[in-house]
């Protein structure tokens, strides 16, 4: 250790950098490059050094490391803490040492620390925590991946942003057109009871024309029955159109989910699943009466006219309410859209935590079938779960081999042992083909990364 320069402030001395070895020139920067590999975002040490001024000994200044990390999509911060007090959830951290070296603290095992030395590369080394504390400086550098923003915005209403929506409506337009006609007829038949009451009190009662009363009663009864039939027919048509539109849209979404390119897929699986879940609201919309609401609009004017004929100026009250309600609805559009976008983002973040916690916690030990069941039991629709677990199928064989290796470790010697291993893997949710390959061909392919414990 005597041949290494000190990193203590004010005591740095020039060193021989003729070898060009990054670990010798700047050990801490080399440790940062090693940390990027641990975080699955490898960055070469030369790339890290580019664009930053070096000090007198050819190293990146310690104060520049947070900015250096931010430049490459990482978060880094210096903290004064003892090695023994570092929480495991912040690992790995970078430790500059008093003698000029640096290391990456990966984990703790009992009284020992697992570290990576800059000059030894990605080879785990053990050192006692007390010795590491005596060698290290009081500052440690915590490095993490920068969180990705998942801003969810509504599709812009221009060009063909909603073509899939209007095309679906146009495809099943005859259901909605016929339901509007049924609504129109039902509204007209509704007036039968009104005219019946007016005629009974104006003409039948004063003249005691009971034959006319029977005629009016029979006609009104027929109108009421026909109104009921029209409203049932409208509900039936809207339901059929909604189901067909729902199947068409679900098929389109599932096809797009399965064929989407990886570079176009959101980084967060949970956000992706939440976005797909938002389309479930279309089921209620296509099967609701909102689509045929326009057929009732002309009757608003007709009822206002009838009120004016019967009550005169009193018709001004509902006539004034209609534009007021329209203005309130139009004024509420902007805050409602803003609130809806915020709600979608919060729901996406919550869904992201749910889905990714299940995947990260259970994917290494369970097969695709069990993971699919757990996601569906938490409220995710089957078509969304299909998109979430699609990426797990490629790694299912490797995960099954790792589970088999940890549980059994050696091929079955007889049929009973083989059946026991197959039942165990089936209980974990692995597919029959994967189970067959793992149990009958344990040495055909290499095990998943991780090695023997």
Distance between CA atoms of residues 297 and 286, nearest Å: 19
| pLDDT of amino acid 283 | 58
**What string of DSSP letters covers 362-388?**
HTTTS-HHHHHHHHHHTT--HHHHHHH
* DSSP state for residue 82 in the 8-state scheme: -
CB 389 within 8 A of CB 375: yes
Alpha carbon distance 99, 102 (integer Å): 9
CB 81 within 8 A of CB 94: no
Least confident of 71-85, 135-149, 342-356, 414-428: 342-356
Given this model, what pLDDT does residue 198 score? 84
Secondary structure tally for the chain: helices H, strands E: 19, 6
Checking if the pLDDT of 295 tops 70, the result is no
Task: Calculate the average pLDDT of the chain.
Answer: 75
Q: What is the mean pLDDT of residues 380-402?
A: 72
Q: Which of 34-38, 315-319, 410-414 is the least confident region?
A: 410-414
For residue 228, the model assigns a pLDDT of: 92
Phi and psi torsions of 156, nearest 5°: -65, 140
Residue 231 buriedness (CB in 10 A; 0-12 / 13-18 / 19+): middle
Structure tokens at 349: 């973040």
Q: Domain locations in the chain?
A: 22-145, 172-329, 377-440
What span, in angstroms and rounded, lies between the C-alpha atoms of 299 and 322? Answer: 13
Tokens coding 86? 């570092």
- Burial track 430-447 (b if 16+ CB lie within 10 A, e otherwise): bbeebbebbbeebeeeee
Q: Return phi, psi of residue 104, to 5°.
A: -110, 120
Interval 58-95: pLDDT, tens: 788 888 888 888 888 888 888 888 888 888 778 888 88
Tell me, what's the pLDDT at 361? 66
Kindly give the residue spans of alpha helices, DSSP state H, lying in 6-44.
22-25, 27-38
> CA 123 to CA 114: how far, in whole Å?
10
Taking the C-alpha atoms of residue 211 and residue 217, their distance in angstroms, rounded to an integer, is 10
Q: How many CB atoms lie within 10 A of CB 88?
A: 7
* Phi and psi at residue 141, to the nearest 5°: -110, 110
What fold, for 22-145? Cathepsin B; Chain A (3.90.70)
Cα 196 to Cα 224: distance, rounded to the nearest angstrom: 11
Q: What is the pLDDT of residues 298-313, one digit of tens each?
A: 778 877 887 888 888 8
pLDDT at 118 over 70: yes
In terms of DSSP bridges, do strands 112-117 and 102-109 run parallel, antiparallel, or are they unpaired?
antiparallel
Contact 74, 36 (CB under 8 A): yes
Lowest mean pLDDT among 2-16, 216-230, 351-365: 2-16
What is the token pair recorded at 7? 């990193």
Residue 117 main-chain phi, psi, to 5 deg: -90, 145
More confident residue, 445 or 393: 393
pLDDT higher at 357 or 173: 173
Q: Is the pTM of this model over 0.75?
A: no
Name the least confident of 78-82, 171-175, 243-247, 330-334: 243-247
What is d(CA 268, CA 85) in angstroms, rounded to the nearest whole number? 32
According to the per-residue pLDDT averaged within each range, which of 106-120, 140-154, 212-226, 273-287 is highest? 212-226
Whole-number Å distance between alpha carbons of 323 and 345: 33
């Amino acid at each position: 250790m005597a041949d290494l320069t000190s990193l203590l402030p004010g005591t740095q001395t020039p060193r021989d950098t003729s070898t060009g070895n990054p670990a010798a020139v700047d050990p801490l920067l080399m440790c940062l490059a090693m940390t990027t590999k641990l975080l699955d975002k490898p960055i070469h040490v030369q790339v890290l050094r580019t664009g930053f001024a070096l000090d007198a000994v050819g190293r990146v200044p310690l104060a520049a490391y947070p900015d250096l990390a931010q430049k490459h999509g990482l978060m880094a911060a210096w903290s004064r803490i003892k090695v023994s007090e570092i929480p495991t959830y912040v690992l790995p951290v970078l430790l500059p040492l008093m003698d000029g070296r640096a290391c990456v603290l990966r984990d703790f095992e009992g009284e020992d620390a697992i570290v990576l030395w800059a000059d030894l590369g990605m080879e785990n080394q053990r050192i006692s925590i007390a010795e590491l504390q005596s060698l290290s400086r009081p500052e440690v550098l915590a490095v993490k991946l920068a969180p990705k923003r998942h801003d969810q915005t509504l599709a812009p209403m221009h060009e063909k942003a909603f073509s899939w929506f209007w095309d679906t409506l146009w495809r099943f337009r005859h259901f909605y057109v016929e339901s509007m006609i049924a609504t129109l007829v039902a509204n007209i038949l509704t007036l039968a009871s009104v005219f019946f009451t007016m005629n009974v009190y104006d003409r039948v009662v004063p003249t005691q024309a009971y034959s006319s009363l029977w005629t009016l009663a029979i006609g009104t009864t027929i109108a009421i029955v026909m109104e009921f039939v029209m409203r049932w027919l409208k509900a039936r048509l809207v339901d059929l159109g909604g189901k067909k539109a729902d199947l068409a849209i679900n098929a389109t979404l599932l096809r797009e989910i399965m064929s989407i390119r990886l570079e176009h897929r959101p980084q967060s699986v949970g956000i992706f699943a939440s976005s797909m879940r938002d389309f479930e609201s279309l089921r209620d919309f296509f099967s609701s009466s909102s689509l045929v609401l326009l057929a009732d609009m002309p009757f608003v004017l007709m009822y206002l006219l009838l009120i004016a004929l019967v009550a005169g100026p009193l018709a001004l009250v509902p006539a004034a309410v209609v534009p007021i309600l329209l203005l309130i609805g139009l004024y509420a559009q902007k805050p409602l859209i803003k609130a809806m976008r915020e709600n979608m983002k919060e729901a996406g973040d919550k869904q992201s935590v749910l889905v990714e916690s299940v995947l990260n916690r259970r994917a290494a030990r369970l097969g695709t079938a069990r993971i699919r069941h757990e996601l569906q039991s938490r409220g995710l629709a089957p078509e969304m779960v299909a998109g979430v677990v699609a990426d797990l199928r490629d790694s299912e064989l490797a995960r099954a081999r790792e589970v088999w290796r940890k549980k059994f470790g050696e091929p079955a010697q007889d049929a009973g042992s083989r059946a026991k291993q197959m039942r165990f893997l089936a209980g974990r949710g692995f597919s029959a083909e994967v189970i067959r390959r793992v149990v009958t061909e344990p040495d055909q392919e290499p095990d998943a990364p991780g090695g023997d414990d």
